[in-house]
């Protein structure tokens, strides 16, 4: 079964020149598809103009994975940690009991494109922490999935406190990837850019798809395509199955 969340169905916010697209927006109760998908609580795409501060997103009891696709993102946490996430880098943050965090475009001349994913942690009240790594273009090309975050830090990935696996891939036209799903697991696929087919469904830039009760996620790129894929260890509850439809 495939859950579709088209790019145009995402919640859109504009603050001055900053633009945010939210795949999940729990406050939009009129749309039952706008809530979380299993432990995936939020998936946002943010475009920040030069030097701009990012709008605040609450960080409490969440595992956060930040991916800077273009530009650079400067951050500062209440415990006194600060730094810059450059294009091509991923950062995993354990918010735990809550952290005050500010983020801004580190450049005064270039825009920044930032993706941020929030997952429910495996437990409450974890100690705040973060880790940052670069996964090169070469690691993410070649028609394979590069693990960038996982619960066991496999293959040198970021460690997150959740039974989840997050992968990134850069695909050439015609390249095909298959990710097997063990029984009881679900997956969320986000098309960062490009065009690809998931079965007989065509996905384009900004589209998302949830996969449940399937043996695998099978995707073929039609254009140069970048994807993020999450393999999640918690099945959807009955209330969430209402917005899952057959492919």
DSSP secondary structure letters along 24-35: --TT-TT-GGGS
pLDDT at 28 over 70: no
pLDDT of residue 61: 76
Q: Which residues of 76-94 are buried (b: 16+ CB within 10 A; e: fewer)?
A: ebeeeeeeebebbbbbbbb
Counting beta carbons within 10 angstroms of the beta carbon of residue 111, is it exposed (0 to 12), middle (13 to 18) or buried (19 or more)? middle
pLDDT in tens, 69-98: 999 999 988 767 889 999 999 999 888 666
Cα torsion 105, 56, 152, 230: sign: negative
d(CA 24, CA 11): 7
Encode pLDDT of 141-162 as tens digits. Answer: 999 999 999 999 999 999 999 9
CA gap 43, 25 in Å, rounded: 9
3-class SS of residue 119: strand
The answer to whether 147 and 89 have CB atoms below 8 angstroms apart is no
């Amino acid at each position: 079964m495939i859950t579709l969340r088209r790019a145009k169905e995402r919640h859109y916010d504009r603050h001055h020149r900053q633009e945010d697209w939210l795949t999940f927006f729990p406050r939009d109760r009129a749309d039952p598809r706008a809530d979380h998908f299993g432990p995936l609580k939020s998936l946002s795409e943010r475009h920040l103009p030069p030097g701009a501060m990012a709008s605040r997103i609450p960080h409490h009891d969440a595992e956060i994975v930040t991916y800077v696709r273009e530009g650079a993102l400067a951050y500062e946490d209440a415990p006194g940690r600060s730094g810059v996430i450059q294009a091509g880098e991923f950062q995993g943050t354990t918010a735990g009991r809550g952290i005050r965090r500010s983020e801004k475009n580190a450049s005064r001349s270039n825009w920044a494109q930032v993706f941020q994913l929030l997952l429910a942690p495996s437990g409450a009240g974890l100690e705040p922490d973060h880790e940052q790594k670069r996964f090169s273009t070469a690691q993410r090309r070649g028609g394979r999935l590069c693990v960038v975050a996982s619960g066991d830090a496999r293959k040198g990935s970021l460690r997150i406190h959740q039974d989840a696996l997050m992968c990134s891939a850069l695909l050439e036209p015609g390249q095909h990837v298959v990710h097997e799903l063990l029984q009881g697991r679900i997956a969320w696929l986000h098309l960062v850019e490009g065009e690809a087919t998931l079965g007989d469904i065509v996905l384009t830039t900004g589209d998302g798809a949830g996969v449940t009760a399937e043996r695998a996620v099978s995707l073929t790129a039609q254009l140069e395509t970048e994807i993020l894929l999450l393999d999640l260890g918690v099945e959807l509850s009955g209330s969430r199955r209402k917005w899952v439809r057959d492919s």
